[in-house]
Amino acid sequence: MDALTHGIAGVVIARATFEPSLGKWATITAVAVSLLPDVDFLLKFINKRLYIKYHRSFANSLFCLVPLSLFLGFIFNRICGLHSFPSFTALTFITLGSHVFFDTLNPFGTMIFTPFSNYRFSWDVVYIVDPIFTSLLLFPLIVSYIQPQYSRLICIGSLISLSFYIALRFINHARARRYNQQYIRAKGLKVSRFASLPTHFSPFRWWNLIETEDYIYKAWISTLNQRCGQEENYQMWPRVICQSPWESSAWIRKALELPEVKTYLWFARFPVMKYHGFIQNTHRIAFYDYRFEGYKGKLPFVYVVDFHPDGQVSSQYFHRNWDFLRWARDLRKTTAQ
């Protein structure tokens, strides 16, 4: 989830649990602890490759949850001087645990098994920024300050209502996955992976993706309308897009050998590779992870590699503000050809 939602969740958890005994230090501790695992977000502004490699790793690991809770509980207990180490430890454990759980809900993925595995686990049920999710925490929190005598009950009710919303998301996610499975069986596809990914707002709207060796299939699904799950709603997109198959495929193979590209493909769940041609005296290859939806047609996490004609790497970088709408139009033209 986004940092704002994590911070609000920290305040709600504090007011629902240990605020009566720890006072303002419960809120201070919960907010600080709820935001702490996202400190590595700063890597995005230093080196985006390091960001996708290490974001949501050690601080989000299930194996680090207990020792980190004990350490932070000890630190905050010493700072405030209340001599309530068990309460601070319990509060940090609950807050850290909620942060890890919330992060596993969205498609970005969380390395909860660090340091034993770098597998990115995800339930794929909530978008990274979900206004409904945030509102179920924010509005009750505001009311709890207006009616302080009922603050604990209001915040407990907030967490309960959020639990029902998450459960609704899980139920509809399972329905969307069934549409995927039905399409796979109907077409007899040999599938590498498939997923039903959440959209920005509605718990009933999903983005179904299927990956085979050569293609990615996509469909917008509504669990309230069975017609949205029919076969004709799926579109087929090539995984490798080449304008001139002989030369361009060779440049793609060369790009795939680069360690940075291998890191990117480890991170990507539905990668698409495209040879863009000879641009500014370099051969350009672009990689895009199809699980991410661009805001106003701008794609995140597009990795570009430029080669000199002699085969040496000219540059490689994450391209910002990649135009998805133009990219999709070019892709449809290539598919039609």
Which tens digit of pLDDT belongs to each residue from 93-145?
A: 999 999 999 999 999 999 999 999 999 999 999 998 899 999 999 999 999 99
- Single out the residue in 235, 251, 281 at which a domain terminates: 235
On whether both 23 and 113 belong to a single domain, the answer is yes
- Single out the residue in 215, 235, 255 at which a domain terminates: 235
On whether both 38 and 96 belong to a single domain, the answer is yes
134: in domain:
no
179: in domain:
yes
pLDDT tens for 224-263 read 876 665 667 888 888 887 655 555 678 888 999 999 999 9
On whether both 22 and 106 belong to a single domain, the answer is yes
Closest by Cα among 311, 331, 334 to 322: 331
Structure confidence at residue 292 (pLDDT): 81
Q: Residues with Cβ < 8 Å from 92, sequence gap 6 or more? A: 29, 33, 68, 69, 72, 73, 76
On whether both 243 and 288 belong to a single domain, the answer is yes
148: in domain:
no
Averaged pLDDT for residues 259-286: 90
Structure confidence at residue 246 (pLDDT): 54
The region of weakest confidence among 11-20, 181-190, 275-284, 319-328 is: 319-328
Contact 212, 192 (CB under 8 A): yes
On whether both 295 and 186 belong to a single domain, the answer is no
On whether both 218 and 262 belong to a single domain, the answer is no
168: in domain:
no
Q: How confident is the model at residue 159 (pLDDT cuts 50, 70, 90)?
A: very high
Q: How many domains would you assign to the chain?
A: 3
On whether both 203 and 257 belong to a single domain, the answer is no
Q: Residues with Cβ < 8 Å from 6, sequence gap 6 or more? A: 34, 35, 38, 99, 102
Q: How confident is the model at residue 331 (pLDDT cuts 50, 70, 90)?
A: low
Whether 282 shows a pLDDT value over 70: the answer reads yes
10: in domain:
yes
On whether both 223 and 272 belong to a single domain, the answer is no
Q: Higher model confidence: residue 129 or residue 158?
A: 158
On whether both 231 and 251 belong to a single domain, the answer is no
Structure confidence at residue 221 (pLDDT): 87
On whether both 226 and 244 belong to a single domain, the answer is no
Structure confidence at residue 43 (pLDDT): 77
Element (H, E) at 196: strand 191-198
Domain that holds residue 316: 239-336
pTM for this model (two decimals): 0.87
Q: Residues with Cβ < 8 Å from 53, sequence gap 6 or more? A: 263, 267
Averaged pLDDT for residues 332-336: 52
63: in domain:
yes
- Single out the residue in 103, 122, 141 at which a domain terminates: 122
129: in domain:
no
The region of weakest confidence among 60-74, 169-183, 275-289 is: 275-289
